[in-house]
Structure 1
Amino acid sequence: MSDKPKIKVLVVDDEQDIVDLLKYNLEKEGYEVATANDGIKAVKVAAKFIPDVILLDIMMPHQDGVETCRQIREIPETKKAFVIFLTARSEEYSEVAAFDVGADDYITKPIKPRALMSRISALFRRESKKEQENVQVRIKDLIIDKTSYTIDKNGKILTLPKKEFELLYFLAKNPNMVFSRDELLQNIWGADVFVLARTVDVHIRKVREKIGEDYITTVKGVGYKFD
Structure 2
Amino acid sequence: MDKVIARLEKELSLIEHGFKEEEKRALRDYKTNTTEDIKSMAFLAYHSTVYQVRMYAVFLFGYLSEDEDILVFLRDEVSKDDNWRVQEVLAKSFDEYCKKIGYEQALPTIDNWLKSAHPNTRRAMIEGLRIWTNRPFFKENPNEAIRRIVSLKEDESGYVRKSVGNALRDISKKFPNLIKNELDQWSLENKEINQVYQLASRFIK
Q: Shared fold by TM > 0.5?
A: no
The TM-score, its normalising length taken from structure 1, stands at 0.36
Bigger fraction of residues in helix: 2
TM-score when normalising by structure 2: 0.39
Tell me which protein shows more strand as a share of its residues: 1
